[in-house]
Structure 1
Amino acid sequence: MEEHKWVNDPLVMRYLRSKEINDSLRLIHQSKLSSMKSLIDRIGLDYELVGHGGCVNCLEWNADGSILASGSDDLHIILWDPFLKKKIANIDTGHQGNIFSVKFMPQSMDGLVASAAGDGKVKIHWVDHAPSTNSTPQASLQCNCHVGRVKRLATAPDIPYLLWSGAEDGTVMQFDLRTPHTCTNGPSNILINLLSHMGKQAEVKSLAINPVRTEQLVVGANDPFIRLYDRRMIKITSVPFSAERPRGRQNLLATSSQSEESRSAIPVGCAQYFAPGHLPQKLDDYRRRFRSLASTYVTFDQSGRYLLANLGGEQIYLYDCSTPNPPVTQVPLLGKEPLNGIKGFTLPPEIEQIKMQANAAFQQRQYTTAIGLYSKVCVTSIKLRVVNVVTIFLSNTDGDTYAALKDCISALRLDPLQIKPFHRLARCLLDLGQAVLADQAFKLLRERFPQQANSSTFNTLHVEVQKKLELEEQRSEKESARRGELEDESDLLEDGDSSPNFTENEKLWRAQYWDYTSRYCGHCNTTTDIKEANFFGNDGQYILAGSDDGCFFIWDRNTGIVERVLRGDESIVNCLQPHPFTCMLASSGIDSVVRIWSPLPQVPICYFNNLPTLLNIERVIPDRLGSVVLDAESAAMANQRRMNADPFEMFLMNMGATAEDAMPDITVRPRRAASSPDDDQDEDPRAAIQCRQS
């Protein structure tokens, strides 16, 4: 019988031993240990914190990670000692609506806790850390200036007296604890008023302060744009309510729309917008299909340079805040020489090995895995970038045509003399509705490869481009006619139309938005609007997010590969907050408990053949909480089907049926099969309808 040997990680042991010898290395090693790959691979459910009587909607660690705060539908905030697994305090907040956000005020020795809720109120509570069953601490701030649900709070680590709140009334308010606050007839502390720029549909869903450059405030709203502001340049404004209307959103809207002060409070140069490059031009189509987009969570990494946004109804996106990155459809297409002067080379053995693994995953239709593997190495190879384009097409996730376009352009910048990426570039532009750019790409293609000009592939592409150009011309004429009709019916439009009424500044900011640098796919975010996404690891090497399928996903930040999928809730995982220093996570969702996740003990080598049983692994979406989803590919595909299902089908699915069972005459076109990653066929059609986010 084979001797029981344990899989030891000597690096971990070396860190622990050096920490005992030299205490000055403690924080360095503690940081490294929080994100080692061997520990990430063993993360599992450690224990549960039981005490709430409703859904847990928000989690927050204090600065040193010794206390975890949780807010719930039961209107209580509980402070936990996560290591002793016990309550420190149970705060009866006095809110009258679900608690959506909780924050420790900086430099308060954890004695001040802020809360925001669905009742439109923001409160700051004095906290007695002496253990007690329930307490109703005195509130140092009680504000009911908002007229909509308050979804997020934000604090700055170096400014202990400021607090920001964002609400569905379309405003971000700033509270200064050094001055008394009184809720008068209308708010007097508005920092950002989206109603003044976007019109009556504006809502603030999320916000965050840059921890390194605390003058930067980022705001997520009910659209695909992320707004980064320099708050030093913004003037605090007030919106006195009209005496003719009752207090509420309509009063705030009516007063804001007439306030020149609100519109001029944000100078043009103090805002930078971010959005996925494929979405802004689709907004009209989304409105017609009742598909909503909202940034349910925004956060910075610890360097303050990168911004992560969980876009409800879509994917998770990473943005670089310091480097201009316009969408690829706004950049001149290509040069004539490779950027690096190299037209080709042989792949090193280690790259070739990863390519073989990616090809194998592709053949098995594990497209998410294949994309991740190709992405690891395609920066060094034009051919692999082209193969990655095909794989992205077949993965069938929202935004993959635009992602493929970005890879085509990257491949052609490395070597503009490659015909395959040129052809797929034109195809991507066609599918994105960019007929004029597709025509330009086709002309470049014909100019650089005249020997192929009479081939059937060229002729087919040319016919499709011309058809798209004609359709776009007809559509443009219809829109012009419709615009004229709307101008003639301006009175009717004022009363009943829901079209956005943007200011000139808003139009300018939207026109100059920056594109994403990376995206993360596999989860589903359509059901709740408080779903978080976070960085994990000492350098933010991993990305975390919950999902509507009751699981949470861990991605490699650089490659986008799904590293782990774990079952975290009976219904939906909304909140994921990493511990600031150790390899530990806190999660919550629809269940009334808080779950703590940390690396589980290692397994003897002789047990590896029985690994799924030992680690409580199930093949697709598991039934048991804490278990690992081994087949992340199937989980990701199921989530994509969920995101692209229409509401009626989702209703039937939740009742244990499918739309095909109920309506056998309705057929769904299957994804085409590809025999090879080098297959020249074009991508399959996409599902068109997506359920509306609640």
Structure 2
Amino acid sequence: MDENMEGNKEKRNDSENAIETLHQDGVKRMRIDLDQEDNSNSSNLSENISNHFVGLFGGTSTDNGIPTTGVDLENISNVKIGSSQTRVENSEQTSNEMVEEAGSSKLEELIRPDNNSQNETRITDEDSCDSDGENNNSTSGSENTIMHNTDTDSDSEGQDDEYDEDDVLRKAKPSHSFFMVPEFIQRQYGYPTRKANPALFQQRCYGSLMNVQKMELMYKLEDHEGCVNSLNFSPDGKYLASGSDDLKVVIWDWTVGKPYLKIPTRHKKNLFQTKFLNLKGSDLHLATCAKDGQVSYMQIKNEGLREARKLGQHRGPCHKLAVLKDQPQIILSAGEDGIVFNHDIRRPKAERIVYVKDVHSHEVSLYSIHSHPLKSQEFCVAGRENSVRVYDQRKSSQPLALYCPYKATDPKFTRGFHVTCAVYNHDGTEILASYYDSDIFLFDTEKESGQYAHRYTGHRNVATIKAVNFFGPKSEFIISGSDCAHIFFWEKKTEAITQFLLADDNGIVNCLEPHPQLPFLATSGLDYDVKLWVPSCEDEPSFGDLASTIRDNKRNCWLNNDPSSESQESSEDDNWFAFYPFGW
């Protein structure tokens, strides 16, 4: 009897041990499966949520970020928490089943819902844009790339004597921060965020990468009989003024592609600049300058020219004018005689502000002048020397600052190294300078002189006095023409080329004028027309010829810098024709 009881007891113990072993094996297998599932869910969570968004908003182009199908507004509120809720419920159900089967309290820790994964879900689903509407994650990554790719103080030391033409092609591509359908939804439904403001919507749209990559030629404005040397939109953006070698100013109603007024000027030589004055009233007010050195003023009514008079005279050609925003009746002019004049249309005579001379007391031929957008007394000039100079009208005996990308001991600091154009950005914190037979440099005006923040490469600036400009309401992009007949767009922070357009049949693009409110661009060059570019292209941007074009531009620069070439042996007067190879 006792032996039977002991035998039964041993059998029960063996059964319990076997059951316990099975439980432990099951727990181990569940633990392994759970870990694998947890890792898989964690790694694929963002992808699943992204696919869920694609199901709601439609397929999204990887280049322009525009959803291609309709929007299911009813499911938008469920997107943020749907994936994480499902995961939490499944995890809790699995937890209960495993606890019941295994009877082990230690499993509660192992299968508790992963807080990090929930945080990942929340961060992925929620709007990750910062106060400026840019993606924080992509911005952070871009900044790291910028710091790696940007030429900083080391360039000022002359440590990058040669650069590979493919460097610009390897720049980190900027990411999109503007997505059309979500932006339209926020604007139309009036979501309680600052993004619902129509003015802010317009700014974000104008300065978006999407619009730059959608640029295409809308039409040509044809009425001139010579090369078009200057372009300027009216302050309200309604009209576009162009000046040409035919000594005429044409005011275009660019929205319909037709001339509004054609005005012959009193200039004797090539017209170089036309500028609107933002004066009150229904009349249009224009200032012009030309190769003959004259600075003129015109008042225009609907029926035609009302008044035209001469404001001042330079001893040499006058290339550029600057108009003060808070004092539109004042015009600044810079000439090849090295003098900057202040012209007040209310006064009969111009006032000389500064006579620019180099360290050897030789006058510096000036090709560019631009006024500070916020400080009306401050302006920058550039010309046939290596530095961009900043002056204050109230104390102009000495420049406030000098900006040059290289030191005097650097090999690049050669006799022919000079500036063809320099402009301020939208708030005056940066100056953009295009150098003859070199690159484009961006200077931070809030830092020490002589250090540049960014460098933009790929184009070529030799044949004419080429302009450079910012594009976007917050100066998000850099634009320039080139001797290769193309327009180049660079993203300012990454220095990457974001658009590349063929823009001149005769080979050179000189002028680029962005619209003051809309993402439109007017350009001109050696052709006898004005080209208007708008973001309406449905195809992705094509960069098929970009690499070969950059190599050709670089090769031409090497030939131009060859000491054995005739251009290096020519005199200072002979070098003038490098700017006007067609006998201007």
Q: Deviations over 1:391-412 (max 9, x none)?
A: xxxxxxxxxxxxxxxxxxxxxx
Q: Distance in 2 between matches of 1:63 and 1:693?
A: 31
Partner of 2:379: 217
> 1:147 aligned to 2:315?
yes
> 1:550 aligned to 2:485?
yes
Show structure 1 runs of 5+ residues with no match: 182-187, 235-265, 325-512, 604-610, 616-627, 653-690
> 1:9 aligned to 2:66?
yes
Question: Does structure 1 retain, via aligned residues, the 8 Å contact 2:279–2:329?
Answer: no
Partner of 1:128: 301
Question: How many residue pairs align between the two structures?
Answer: 393
Q: Distance in 1 between matches of 2:358 and 2:364?
A: 9
Question: Does structure 2 retain, via aligned residues, the 8 Å contact 1:586–1:595?
Answer: yes
Partner of 2:536: 600
Q: 2:553 aligns with which of 639, 646, 655?
A: 639
Q: Distance in 1 between matches of 2:578 and 2:532?
A: 31
Query: Following TM superposition, by how much is the alpha carbon of 1:300 offset from its aligned partner in structure 2, in angstroms?
Result: 0.9
Q: Distance in 2 between matches of 1:566 and 1:651?
A: 31
Q: Distance in 2 between matches of 1:558 and 1:115?
A: 34
Question: Does structure 2 retain, via aligned residues, the 8 Å contact 1:546–1:552?
Answer: yes
Q: Deviations over 1:585-644 (max 9, x none)?
A: 1100000110011112425xxxxxxx7xxx7xxxxxxxxxxxx54242221121111122
Q: Distance in 2 between matches of 1:19 and 1:58?
A: 37
3-state SS, counterpart of residue 151 of structure 1: strand
C-alpha RMSD over aligned residues: 2.9
Letter in 2 for 1:275: C
Q: Deviations over 1:423-445 (max 9, x none)?
A: xxxxxxxxxxxxxxxxxxxxxxx
Partner of 2:235: 63
Instruction: Indicate how the Cα distance of structure 1 residues 112 and 311 shifts in structure 2: closer, same or farther if over 3 A, else same.
Output: same
Question: Does structure 2 retain, via aligned residues, the 8 Å contact 1:18–1:25?
Answer: no
Query: Following TM superposition, by how much is the alpha carbon of 1:195 offset from its aligned partner in structure 2, in angstroms?
Result: 4.1
Question: Does structure 1 retain, via aligned residues, the 8 Å contact 2:299–2:305?
Answer: no
Q: Deviations over 1:636-675 (max 9, x none)?
A: 12111112214999999xxxxxxxxxxxxxxxxxxxxxxx
Q: Distance in 2 between matches of 1:129 and 1:18?
A: 41
Partner of 2:330: 162
Q: Distance in 1 between matches of 2:335 and 2:420?
A: 12
Query: Following TM superposition, by how much is the alpha carbon of 1:36 offset from its aligned partner in structure 2, in angstroms?
Result: 1.7
Map 1:291-370 → 2, pairs under 5 A: 292-324=416-448
Q: Distance in 2 between matches of 1:229 and 1:551?
A: 33
Q: Distance in 1 between matches of 2:260 and 2:526?
A: 23
Letter in 1 for 2:503: G
Q: Distance in 1 between matches of 2:537 and 2:369?
A: 37
Map 1:193-208 → 2, pairs under 5 A: 193-195=355-357, 199-208=361-370
Query: Following TM superposition, by how much is the alpha carbon of 1:96 offset from its aligned partner in structure 2, in angstroms?
Result: 0.8
Query: Following TM superposition, by how much is the alpha carbon of 1:15 offset from its aligned partner in structure 2, in angstroms?
Result: 3.7
Query: Following TM superposition, by how much is the alpha carbon of 1:693 offset from its aligned partner in structure 2, in angstroms?
Result: 5.0
Partner of 1:114: 287
Q: Return the structure number with greater relative CO, CA threshold 8 A, min gap 6.
A: 1
Query: Following TM superposition, by how much is the alpha carbon of 1:68 offset from its aligned partner in structure 2, in angstroms?
Result: 1.1
3-state SS, counterpart of residue 267 of structure 2: coil
Query: Following TM superposition, by how much is the alpha carbon of 1:145 offset from its aligned partner in structure 2, in angstroms?
Result: 2.4
Identity %: 28
Partner of 2:463: 527
Q: 2:389 aligns with which of 217, 221, 227?
A: 227
3-state SS, counterpart of residue 517 of structure 2: coil
Query: Following TM superposition, by how much is the alpha carbon of 1:293 offset from its aligned partner in structure 2, in angstroms?
Result: 3.1
Letter in 2 for 1:274: Y
Q: Distance in 1 between matches of 2:318 and 2:205?
A: 36
TM-score between both structures, scaled by the size of structure 1: 0.53
Question: Does structure 1 retain, via aligned residues, the 8 Å contact 2:419–2:434?
Answer: yes
Question: Does structure 1 retain, via aligned residues, the 8 Å contact 2:322–2:331?
Answer: yes
> 1:192 aligned to 2:354?
yes
Q: 1:138 aligns with which of 300, 307, 311?
A: 307
Q: 2:400 aligns with which of 254, 268, 271?
A: 271
3-state SS, counterpart of residue 517 of structure 1: strand
Q: Distance in 1 between matches of 2:219 and 2:408?
A: 40
Instruction: Indicate how the Cα distance of structure 1 residues 602 and 5 shifts in structure 2: closer, same or farther if over 3 A, else same.
Output: farther
Q: 2:453 aligns with which of 517, 524, 537?
A: 517
Instruction: Indicate how the Cα distance of structure 1 residues 173 and 310 shifts in structure 2: closer, same or farther if over 3 A, else same.
Output: same
> 1:52 aligned to 2:214?
no
Instruction: Indicate how the Cα distance of structure 1 residues 20 and 94 shifts in structure 2: closer, same or farther if over 3 A, else same.
Output: farther
Indicate the structure with greater strand content.
Answer: 2
Q: Distance in 1 between matches of 2:365 and 2:294?
A: 16
Letter in 2 for 1:297: C
Question: Does structure 2 retain, via aligned residues, the 8 Å contact 1:93–1:136?
Answer: no
Map 1:386-401 → 2, pairs under 5 A: none
Question: Does structure 2 retain, via aligned residues, the 8 Å contact 1:106–1:156?
Answer: no
Query: Following TM superposition, by how much is the alpha carbon of 1:18 offset from its aligned partner in structure 2, in angstroms?
Result: 5.2
Partner of 1:680: none
3-state SS, counterpart of residue 328 of structure 2: strand
Query: Following TM superposition, by how much is the alpha carbon of 1:197 offset from its aligned partner in structure 2, in angstroms?
Result: 6.1
> Rg bigger for which structure?
2
Letter in 1 for 2:198: R
Question: Does structure 2 retain, via aligned residues, the 8 Å contact 1:307–1:321?
Answer: yes
Q: Distance in 2 between matches of 1:74 and 1:649?
A: 37
Q: Distance in 2 between matches of 1:280 and 1:273?
A: 16
Q: Which moved more, 1:311-320 or 1:272-281?
A: 272-281
Instruction: Indicate how the Cα distance of structure 1 residues 218 and 189 shifts in structure 2: closer, same or farther if over 3 A, else same.
Output: same
Map 1:100-111 → 2, pairs under 5 A: 100-109=272-281, 111=284
Question: Does structure 2 retain, via aligned residues, the 8 Å contact 1:46–1:596?
Answer: yes
TM-score between both structures, scaled by the size of structure 2: 0.63
Q: Distance in 2 between matches of 1:142 and 1:313?
A: 35
Question: Does structure 2 retain, via aligned residues, the 8 Å contact 1:60–1:70?
Answer: yes
Q: Distance in 1 between matches of 2:512 and 2:382?
A: 18
Question: Does structure 2 retain, via aligned residues, the 8 Å contact 1:296–1:310?
Answer: yes
Q: Deviations over 1:311-355 (max 9, x none)?
A: 11211010011122xxxxxxxxxxxxxxxxxxxxxxxxxxxxxxx
Instruction: Indicate how the Cα distance of structure 1 residues 172 and 316 shifts in structure 2: closer, same or farther if over 3 A, else same.
Output: same
Instruction: Indicate how the Cα distance of structure 1 residues 137 and 51 shifts in structure 2: closer, same or farther if over 3 A, else same.
Output: farther
Letter in 1 for 2:504: D
Map 1:564-643 → 2, pairs under 5 A: 564-570=499-505, 571-603=507-539, 628-643=542-557
3-state SS, counterpart of residue 231 of structure 2: strand
